[in-house]
Chains A and B, each alone.
Chain A
Amino acid sequence: MKMMSIALMGLLVLATAPFAAAQQIQAAGATFPAVIYQKWFEEYRKLHPDVLVNYQSIGSGGGIAQLTSGTVDFGASDMPMTDAQIAKLKSHPLHFPTVMGAVVPTYNIPGVSQDLKFTPQTLAAIFLGSIKKWNDSQLAKDNPGVKLPGAEIVVVHRSDGSGTSFCWTDYLSKVSPEWKSKVGASTSVNWPVGLGGKGNEGVAGLVKQQPNSMGYVELAYAVQNKLAYGDVKNAAGNFVKADLASVTEAAAGAAKEMPADFRVSITNAPGKKSYPISTFTWLLIPSEIPDAKKAATIKALLAWMLADGQKFAAGLWYAPLPKEVVAKEIKQIAQINAGKK
């Protein structure tokens, strides 16, 4: 019996040997891109079997916190880091946009099956509580031919902090000065009206159940769960329904004026076909990585994700990056460990 248990232990130790030889990279952060990141790390492992990336989707705030405390090799966030957060890090974090997402207005009005059209003003007013009923004159004007009921609008927002809320409130802050002064933009805000649902699933669940309600969810989520969502008027004045092409268009539109560090919000971007409520999601890579071998692996992984990896994005309903942005990012990869050989 004793010999058996010793032999078993020996086998277990030997079994871990291949893992011991692998390049282990720790990462943590945003939940929105977790699906595509897991796919990428899996696909990359097929090409390079010795590279094992362990990604924990604990939220953007958690990712930034772990990066600051040094427990992960790189982080991921749906919101660019603030100057205050960057100041806390020993080595300056480089922001790499990886994919794009969009936030769409979803609604449940019994009897209305058409796509509703929303302008920035109506969206802000609904979420501020100034437009209270569906048959309000502004909504009726933008949606001729749709019979809107006289019922009260039940607003649904996120109860947990999230990059989706940041994108939504950032857009509203840009298009509505009243929203900007009263509420502001952040992953978590003091919502003037509405019920809170936890996660995209919470918001979608509440909207589905509550007649005459309206909320906001990730595009990928809306499509996969076949939710009705409306068109939004973009900066060029066209009503655009969110899809992968219009989201990529938004980044292309913003590419010309993009800051060198990629810490930019692309909501309300210029461009005829841009979807106005789009956002990047970033990987946060320290500019100084002490372990040279790890640095080389991370650089190669990044280059792959920005080039070959992008073809996996559309299948999972993430919008791929436009070529102009990818070209700029490839140049930024060279900044990792730039001072070292």
Chain B
Amino acid sequence: MATPLVIDASLAKPPRQTGDTVARLLTMAFAASILLVTFLLVFQLWNTSALARHKFGLAFLWTSEWNPVTEEFGALPFIYGTVVTSAVALLISVPVGLGSAIFLSEMAPAKLSNALTFLIELLAAIPSVIYGLLGMFTVVPLMRSYVEPFLKKTLGFLPLFQGTIFGVDFLTAGLVLSIMTVPFIISVSRESLLAVPREQREAALALGATRWETTWQIVVPYAKLGILGSVFLALARALGETMAVTMVIGNDPKIHASLLAPGYSIASVIANEFSEATGDLYQSALIELGLVLFFLTIVINALARVMIIATTRKGSKRA
């Protein structure tokens, strides 16, 4: 005897449990708190830099003078230093990182790949001060005694490699930053490359592509979004890196065309000068530099988003 299936009207809408509601509100509160903290951060930066903003206006962004005694402050040398060291860091770490990721995902046997990946991820966990010490005691002497004289001799006709060799300069800072950012690029790119479906590779090989052609023309473009994401993650770390950079950049607030010249970055000057900054305008100017770094990071991340959206749209058009 079959019991008739009774469909109660109240079953059409599932009953809300109190537990579910609480969970929903709680997790919403957590998400909202992150936004709130970010908003408070910008608000605080904006407020405490008011004195400097009113005094210097937008000209702060393109003035080069940094004089605590006469209280004239300009952000240009620091913006230049931050951008140049991050650019050098990416120029070195992206090819190395991507190449390593390709090796680890496509060509290395699984055991070797896993062991190396574990070691590389350990690199990402090392505190940046240690990298700074490594930079100061190992990288700087190497650069000063061997690498930079060689670069000056061979590429000295370029304005990028001219001038006195100090060892502490944009190039060394960029190199130390690249060592710090390479683990991020390797681990995230490797994950993205491993996530490419086997069918894609097999199809390419079946059509007669070589191993390298498959990797470079099929697998890597498929994993492009993940790889780009890792690059921007690396860039974000490079822009904000403080201690490692200040130990190897030379701390000279001037703009030089040569990579062999000392420079200064935003994070370094704030770390160096903030605790002893006497005078409201001085402190305010340093906080305004923090605000500038914040907006610089946002602009670069926005550009990243735009690029990712553009490539996705192109990809989906092709599909």
Contact = CB atoms under 8 A, between A and B. Distances in A.
Interface in A150-199: 152, 154, 159-162, 183-191, 194-198
Contacts of A194: 252
A284 interface: no
Contact of A64 (B67, B250, B278): B278
Contact of B278 (A85, A191, A195, A202): A85
Contacts of A161: 68, 272-273, 275-278
Given A195-B251, A198-B251, A202-B247, A188 B273 contact: yes
Nearest to B246: A198
A197 B249 CA distance: 10
B168 interface: yes
A59 interface: yes
B275 A61 contact: yes
Given A197-B251, A209-B140, A210-B166, A190 B277 contact: no
Contacts of A202: 247
B250 A195 contact: yes
B68 A160 contact: no
A196 B251 contact: yes
Given A159-B246, A196-B250, A59 B276 contact: yes
Contact of A188 (B68, B141, B271): B68
B246 to A, nearest CB: 6
A202 B164 CA distance: 20
Given A183-B69, A186-B68, A195-B252, A162 B247 contact: no
Contact of A61 (B65, B67, B246, B276): B276
Interface string B255-294: 0000000101000100111011110001000000000000
A183 B68 CA distance: 10
A189 B68 contact: yes
Tell me the dominant secondary structure on chain A's binding face. loop
A159 B66 CA distance: 12
Interface string A252-286: 00000000000000000000000000000000000
Q: Max chain A CB contacts within 10 Å: which of B66, B69, B136, B247?
A: B69
Please classify the interface of chain B as helix (H, G, I), strand (E, B), loop, or mixed, using the class held by over half of its residues.
loop
B65 A190 contact: yes
Nearest to B253: A190
Contact of B272 (A58, A85, A154, A198): A198
Interface in A45-83: 58-62, 64, 82
A266 B280 CA distance: 27
Contacts of B67: 189-190
Interface in B148-191: 164, 166-168
Contact of A187 (B66, B144, B252, B276): B276
B278 A187 contact: yes
A160 B274 CA distance: 8
Q: Which of A82, A161, A162 has the most CB of B within 10 A?
A: A161
A294 to B, nearest CB: 27
A295 B184 CA distance: 56
B110 to A, nearest CB: 44
Tell me which of A152, A191, A198, A205 has the highest count of chain B C-beta atoms within 10 A of its own C-beta: A198
A206 interface: yes
A195 B165 CA distance: 12
Contacts of A190: 65-70, 253
Interface of B: 65-70, 136, 140-141, 144, 164, 166-168, 246-247, 250-253, 262, 264, 268, 271-273, 275-278, 282
User: Across chains A and B, which 7 residue pairs bring their CB atoms closest together, nearest first?
Assistant: A161-B276, A196-B251, A159-B251, A184-B69, A190-B67, A61-B276, A160-B272
Given A59-B276, A160-B276, A196-B251, 5 more contacts: A85-B278, A162-B276, A190-B67, A196-B272, A205-B136
